Structure 1
Amino acid sequence: MTCPQTAEAHRLPPSHGAQAPSAWIARFAHLVRPGGTVLDIACGLGRHMRLFHAQKHAVTGIDKAPDAIEAAASMGEAIQADIESHPWPLAGRSFDGVVVTNYLWRPLWLQILASVRPGGVLLYETFAQGNEAYGKPSRPDFLLAPGELLQVCAGWNIAAYEHGLLRGPERVVQRIAAIRPDGAAPCVPAPLQG
């Protein structure tokens, strides 16, 4: 279950991450405390790192592709790691904002949630069930179930949530902007029912 955009040989297509930031991430970037730290998981070439770096945030990106890390290094801390097959390289670290787009590896839910410090924000957007009608990814392993991000963020303050069809290109996504309550510990998401 790897990121559908990450090639088997850990090389990125020339356009991966080079496009404009996600409109969802840009829309809710203001929720990250001014000057706060931001972690971009599966950062690609750093389109979201670039967005937050321009807003004077200290940024950290993590990706397994050497091309991604090389591109991201000019904006901040860049960590090359296979987070699906090896230990989480950021154990004990937390950030004011955590960004995840076009990536889903459910065994990392606890690490992702724990990476958001109390009062920090999780900005997450990836493919969801229904996307199989429009192309890849189409395997259930890569598609969020209806309400899955709401379940994962149960107990957090939900600033916004959507699940639906986007155009240009057509795709079905689920996305959330969720703020970890002060003093709240991340919980282990329960398996989805049904």
Structure 2
Amino acid sequence: MSTSAAAVHGLSEPSPWVRDWAHLVETGGAVLDVASGAGRHARFFASRGHPVTAIDRDPAALDLLRDAPLVTPLVADLEGAAWPLPADAKFAAVVVTNYLHRPLFESLLQALAPGGVLVYETFAQGNESVGKPSNPAFLLAPGELLERVRGHLRVVAFQDGYLAQPRPAYVQRICAILEAERSDDPMQAASPRCYGLAG
């Protein structure tokens, strides 16, 4: 991503999906913005009083966050190296948009603190018919996010289907919580109980 493109991405509005579920994040709780780019979501959560760790492999994009209050940029290759945070680093929210690297799912779940919220949104199968990405490696299979959190988190909302705005795309998105009373062992947390589908 060029610096100018990163700037536009970083200063654009947060995803409506992220904005809609931000109220579930513990007041003042730390947020992890994964594959943050220039940090539109990092800035959004920081504006709400959350300290944010913004991880991306693009140092030019993260440079745009150097002076952002409450934001700690972290340059890291999420696909070619080990998880860049300590095992005991826990967050009130983990946010991922427009990014998919399946081997990270376990680390994302382990990064949630008790009561922590996973807000995830990215492209799904079918997107190859309307644009990019079209590589199956970057497109979620039907219901894949539900399967990834099943037995770990309680699902608050889930959508899987076609969206016309802001541009035609097939997307899948989830908001799910690590229930505090079951968080001693996230592998034993509640299975998904309720969700809504959008076509």
TM-score, normalised via structure 2 length: 0.85
CA distance in 1, matches of 2:144, 2:129: 19
Q: Is contact 1:159-1:178 (8 Å) kept?
A: yes
1:186 offset after TM fit, Å? 3.7
Structure 1 runs (4+) deviating above 4 angstroms are none
- CA offsets 1:32-87 (integer angstroms, 9 cap, x no match): 00110000000011100111011001111000001221112223111001110011
Aligned match for 2:144, one of 125, 141, 148:
148
Corresponding residue number in structure 1 for 2:119 = 123
CA distance in 2, matches of 1:116, 1:45: 23
The aligned runs of 1:2-81 (5 Å cut-off) are 7=1, 13-14=5-6, 15-75=8-68, 76-81=71-76
Structure 1 portions without partners, runs of 5+? 1-6, 188-194
CA distance in 1, matches of 2:104, 2:186: 12
CA distance in 2, matches of 1:16, 1:84: 21
CA distance in 2, matches of 1:12, 1:99: 23
The aligned runs of 1:178-193 (5 Å cut-off) are 178-182=176-180, 183-184=182-183, 185-187=185-187
Q: Is contact 1:11-1:66 (8 Å) kept?
A: no
Q: Is residue 90 from structure 1 mapped to residue 85 from structure 2 by the alignment?
A: yes
1:11 offset after TM fit, Å? 6.2
RMSD over equivalenced CA pairs, Å: 1.7
- CA offsets 1:110-148 (integer angstroms, 9 cap, x no match): 111111112100000000001111110011100001111
- CA offsets 1:161-191 (integer angstroms, 9 cap, x no match): 001111221001000000012233344xxxx
Q: Is contact 2:9-2:40 (8 Å) kept?
A: no
CA distance in 2, matches of 1:11, 1:132: 27
Residue identity over aligned pairs, in percent, reads: 47
Q: Any idea what SS the aligned residue of 1:34 has?
A: coil
More helix by share: 2
Q: Any idea what SS the aligned residue of 2:67 has?
A: coil
